[in-house]
Amino acid sequence: MTALHLLQWLLAVSGGVYGCALLVLLIGQLRLARPHTHAKRFISVIVAVHNEENTLRLCLAGLARQTYPADLYEIIIADDRSTDSTPALIEEFCKTDRRFSFVRIEPGADAIPKKTALKKALDCARGDIIASTDGDCEVPPTWLSTLNGYFTEGVGMVIGHTRYHSPRTFWQGIDALDYFSQRALGTAFIGIGFAYTCTASNMAYRKELYTLNRAAFNSLKIRPAEDNFFLHCAHNSRYSITVAGDPASYITTAGASSFNHFMNQRFRWAAYGDTIATPAIQAFFVQVLLFNVLILALFVAGVIDHGALALLAKAVGLKVIVDFLFIAPSARRFGCLALLKYFPPLSIMHIFLVPLIVLKGNLSVFEWKGKRYTSSKSLETR
């Protein structure tokens, strides 16, 4: 058997597994439940911020205008060592609206980014439900009312949808669709009974999940992120997890500000946290990595043997078709069909990006918000 024949055989097996895996995830996306209740609970909204002077006012103004009863929610702003005018802006809202309060980690304090501030906010939260968003998000007035409606007695966590602003450039479109693909994967895994990922910019969970897992949360270092931590707490609890598919619950935020920002954001996502990644999740991404690496190998083989180019075209075609069959129904469900015009180039770009992102995010060093994160999951100050 020649090397090219071996590569062809490996691609056939890997491509088949890849296609079947995405088909199962598509089924999960389509079978997501839509529970609903009219019961209203007290909600503590926690907003994590760090130097958000340019975006925070819009976020807090949206939270102040919620259609949810004003006496049934509070807003706690968790300020993680901001050094700009963010603290002054926070105090302005707290003085004019009694629903607002804040906790603060002072600049220079020994703290784990975001998590130390969140712990202080969670410890003083009065709500039965914790709703989470970030200081750079735009929150619709119907957000809390809609999320609350999903909390039937058996639901412990509601995963909301966050979308980027409508793209104005080709690169913004690539960024927005790539981000959406992450959100689609996360909700699809929930649909088949697994917990992969969610986003702290739009989620809500019972405070009971924090109370029962406070010690574990206190011991967290850098990875996993707090959103994935609570997702797995909910997955391992007596409660179910559901996805908010109502557009009235969608939150909007800005995409990456540069290519470097884009890449380091993806490296951070890839650094999933091996303490909570289940064997099934790990197996899926090993297969995704393998399939893309094999296609890359065909690129190299095509330089040496032009006979490999026909096989390369078939492999890339298979990937594009399978990816599209997964992402298109998800885009329809979440009203993102306009992003599909960026799909063909993104699907091909993933052949090169996926191996780089997975390997560097887990085996090397990346930067996020002025800090360096290492493969040993320790934090180095610069």
End-to-end CA distance of the chain: 52
Predicted structure pTM score: 0.91
Say what the pLDDT of residue 153 is: 93
Helix (H, G, I), strand (E, B) or coil at 141: coil
pLDDT in tens, 102-142: 999 998 888 888 889 999 999 999 999 999 999 999 999 99
Say what the pLDDT of residue 311 is: 87
Say what the pLDDT of residue 362 is: 75
pLDDT in tens, 217-235: 988 876 668 899 999 999 9
Say what the pLDDT of residue 110 is: 82
Residue 257 token pair: 């500000």
Q: Under 8 Å CB-to-CB from 115, ≥6 apart: which residues?
A: 217, 220, 226
Higher-confidence position of 351 and 304: 351
pLDDT in tens, 233-286: 999 999 999 999 999 999 999 999 899 899 988 888 877 655 567 888 888 989
Say what the pLDDT of residue 80 is: 92
pLDDT exceeds 80 at position 382: no
Mean of per-residue pLDDT scores for the chain: 90
Query: What is the 8-class DSSP label of residue 286?
Result: H
pLDDT exceeds 90 at position 4: no
Kindly report the backbone phi and psi dihedral angles of residue 181, in degrees, each rounded to the nearest multiple of 5, phi listed first.
-60, -35
Residue 286 token pair: 């090993």
Q: What is the dihedral of CA 234, 239, 240, 241, to 10 degrees?
A: -40
Q: Under 8 Å CB-to-CB from 56, ≥6 apart: which residues?
A: 49, 86, 89, 90, 135, 136
DSSP H or E run through 335: none
pLDDT exceeds 70 at position 298: yes
pLDDT exceeds 90 at position 26: yes
* Residue 305: pLDDT band with limits 50, 70, 90: confident
To 5 degrees, how large is the angle CA 25–CA 291–CA 188?
Answer: 15
pLDDT in tens, 276-288: 678 888 889 899 9
Which of 33, 129, 49 has its CA nearest to residue 91? 49
Mean pLDDT on 6-34:
90
Region for residue 108 given its phi and psi (left: phi exceeds 0; alpha: psi -120 to 50; beta: otherwise): left
Asked if residue 291 lies in contact with residue 18, where contact means CB atoms within 8 angstroms, the answer is: yes
Distance separating alpha carbons of residues 127 and 114, to the nearest angstrom: 20
- Render the burial of 137-160: b for 16+ CB within 10 Å, e for the rest: bbbbebbbbbbbbbbeeebbbbbb
Asked if residue 176 lies in contact with residue 163, where contact means CB atoms within 8 angstroms, the answer is: yes
pLDDT exceeds 80 at position 1: no
Domain layout of the chain by residue ranges = 3-28+277-377, 33-259
Say what the pLDDT of residue 63 is: 98
Say what the pLDDT of residue 381 is: 45
Say what the pLDDT of residue 374 is: 59
Residue found under tokens 């990922």: 197
Give the count of beta carbons closer than 10 Å to the beta carbon of residue 65: 12
Distance separating alpha carbons of residues 140 and 161, to the nearest angstrom: 12
Q: Does domain 33-259 have CATH number 3.40.50.300?
A: no
Distance separating alpha carbons of residues 261 and 280, to the nearest angstrom: 30
pLDDT exceeds 80 at position 296: yes
Say what the pLDDT of residue 272 is: 61
Query: How many percent of the chain have pLDDT more than 70?
Result: 93
pLDDT in tens, 52-101: 999 999 999 999 999 999 999 999 999 999 999 999 999 999 999 999 99
